[in-house]
Structure 1
Amino acid sequence: MATIDVVQFEISGTNYAIDINTVQEIVEMMPITPVPRSPQHIAGIINLRGVITNVMNLNCLLGLDFGQNHESKKIIVLVPDAAGSSNIGLIVDDVQSVLQIDDENVDQMDASLSKEAFVKGIIKSGGGTTKQNLVIWIDIEKILEETLGTVEQCVC
């Protein structure tokens, strides 16, 4: 039986996860410098220990409402290889935990829906059948590939 390691986080009251091998680190929210005329999904840039990092609103990329309580938000910084050699951070409402999930606890999505929704699967966590939490396992590399490709095509 194979296991999957993911980082579980929350946006607008819903639990999501991304592959742990795409995550470099998780940092507390810090001041973000807006970039003029940037797309709505770009929150701006931060200076993270001397490295300029683009910060994206993941809720905007996923088509979700913006969460509340700006002070408790976190930034998930991705490894550059996962983000097409770019330094990218993702704003999330909160980071819950790192999960190690047996692949038998992941339900695959219908192929047509998963392609449109960028969902790798639904993780069932939390134990017994009556108390299970559902976590949406998103394909962050596919989201960024499409988003960064779209942004590059829009530059004149």
Structure 2
Amino acid sequence: MGEELKVIVFTLGKEEYGVEVEKVRTIERMQPMTRVPKTPEFVKGVINLRGVVTPVIDLRGRFGFPESEYTDNSRIIIVAVGDIEVGLIVDSANDVIDVDSDHIDDPPEIVGGIKAKYLRGIAKVGESRLLVLLNLQEVLSKSEIIQLENVEE
């Protein structure tokens, strides 16, 4: 058995994704955002989270998926990427599971339209469940992180 990896499971459309618990600060309900000019379309704006201005991106938009209406299940997952925090809008955040690192395969070139560089791997959970694990460093490229950091000033 490999190491156990604690993962927060969330959905975009019908697909399940995961991000390591240690990178997640909080999971928030949807809230009003202040739009920031001259940012990519998938950057929805910033929120004031307990006194900290936090940029928020729509993961659907980031991956080139059609955007959908936000629902009561929509969530903003606040993750730490390097030394900044960013909110990721997802369709729902379901549960926390343990994934055995031996059951994580390298990602194929493209999964559901998402390029492999955004993916850390594909985890097999149980008999029939597959979980796409995100590589947060790539989901937000360095230049975008710099842009987002400048938003805060």
Q: Given the two structures, how large is their TM-score scaled by the length of structure 1? A: 0.80
Deviations 1:47-82 (CA, angstroms, capped at 9, x unpaired): 111111101111111222223443321000012xxx
Unaligned runs of 5+ in 2: 149-153
C-alpha displacement at 1:45, in angstroms? 0.7
* 2:105 aligned residue: 107
Rounded to whole Å, the distance in 2 between the matches of 1:149 and 1:96 is 27
Query: Is 2:142 the counterpart of 1:141?
Result: no
1:106, CA displacement in angstroms? Answer: 1.7
- How large is the Cα RMSD of the aligned pairs? 2.4
| Partner Cα separation in structure 2 for residue 64 and residue 120 of structure 1 | 19
In the TM superposition, residue 121 of structure 1 has moved relative to its aligned partner by: 1.2
Equivalents in 2 of 1:88, 1:109: separation in Å? 24
Instruction: Give the number of equivalent residue pairs.
Output: 144
Normalising by structure 2, report the TM-score: 0.82
In 1: Cα distance, 2:91 partner to 2:70 partner: 8
Q: What is the DSSP-based 3-state SS (H/G/I as helix, E as strand, rest coil) of the residue aligned with 2:36?
A: coil
Give the aligned partner of residue 5 of structure 2: 4
2:72 match: secondary structure: helix
- Between the aligned partners of 1:53 and 1:150, the Cα distance in structure 2 is 13
Residue in 1 that maps onto 2:151:
none
Amino acid at match of 1:87: E
Worse-superposed segment, 69-78 or 48-57: 69-78
CA distance in 2 between partners of 1:116 and 1:149 (Å): 19
Could you tell me how far apart the structure 2 residues matched to 1:113 and 1:93 are? 21
Measure the CA separation in 1 of the matches of 2:119 and 2:134.
4
Q: Decide whether aligned partners of structure 1 residues 25 and 106 sit closer, same or farther in structure 2, where only a CA change above 3 A counts.
A: same
Find the counterpart in structure 1 of residue 59 from structure 2: 58
Q: Deviations over 1:98-151 (max 9, x none)?
A: 1111123222225x65994221111112x33xxx11111110122213452685
1: CA distance, partners of 2:44 / 2:15: 21
CA distance in 2, matches of 1:95, 1:57: 14
- Matched-pair identity in %: 28
Contact kept in structure 2, 1:28 and 1:75, CA below 8 Å: yes
SS at match of 2:84: coil
